[in-house]
Amino acid sequence: MKIVAWPIVGRSQLVQAFRPGESASKEAPFRTLRSNHWATPGLRVTTRSRGRASGQVTIFSTLNRDAATLAREGDARSASLVAKAAAKLEAGENFAKLREMLAGRSAEDVSAVIEGGVSDERWPGLLRLLRALGKETSVARGRRAIRPPGMVTGRISETHPDFVLLEAAGGVRTAVPRWLARAAHRETVGDLLALLTERLDDQRMVVNAVPALDLDGADAGSRFSPFARSDSARRLTRRDARLLSGVPAPLTIMFPVTIE
């Protein structure tokens, strides 16, 4: 199992990575990124509402967020190189397929895909395509020795009223505020989540929760059976969680009846 962060982002995430704490809707930070070649133009998707074109939403490779972070840290050369790697991914076949899949959808649907709020049941083939993009992103990082932000990835193993427990490889668990997990559309047992941490100075840091993917596609496991697991029940697959969260079937008890 290899869990990675969601491979696409929106413009607001680039602005927040470059200028933490500022309004994500500001134009100036993004213009600075573009004018210095620290971000790509992204891929524009034309959205529709009630059968008519309603506007455009731009999607970016997540490498742009890495480039924005490097630019904020003062490493302009590395930021430019990472942005070039992002541009190469965005010019590839899988991004073209993603744009084709999103074209003609509503702005709300496209935004939900960027934020990880759409399930594969609702949008068949989407996760498979995003996994392909996730693999390409991992290869690009390895090829160019791109240093991503500090990252913890894993599966939610427990949920509580105020927090969820994110279990990473090796069993290390991290408590994540429930509201932060909810913002990434990941707050139920079995959901995959990534925490990105960035140091601002010796006393401050930024933590972003983003949806995650299993590149091996293992989140769709076999049917749940309480007798078929050797590990803790906390290690439910995503499929298990869906099955267990449904309405239980009525209990049927068969007993013999004597008819005279």
pLDDT at 147: 66
Q: What CA–CA distances, in Å, run from 121 to 106, 118, 128, 239?
A: 18, 8, 12, 12
Which residue ranges form the domains of the chain, and what is each CATH number? 1-147 (no CATH), 149-243 (2.40.50)
Spatial CA neighbour of 209 closest among 199, 219, 198, 223: 198
pLDDT at 242: 61
Query: Which positions of the chain have pLDDT values less than 70?
Result: 120-121, 144-149, 218-248, 260
Cα 66 → chain centroid: 15
Name the average pLDDT for the chain: 85
pLDDT at 223: 43
pLDDT at 218: 54
Round to whole Å and give the CA distance between 153 and 167.
Answer: 8
Q: Is the dihedral of CA 193, 70, 139, 43 positive or negative?
A: positive
Model pTM score: 0.79
Take residue 67 and report the two structure tokens written for it: 């480039």
> What DSSP designation does 170 have?
G
Round to whole Å and give the CA distance between 214 and 94.
Answer: 17
pLDDT at 224: 45
Q: Tokens 């293992």 label which residue?
A: 218
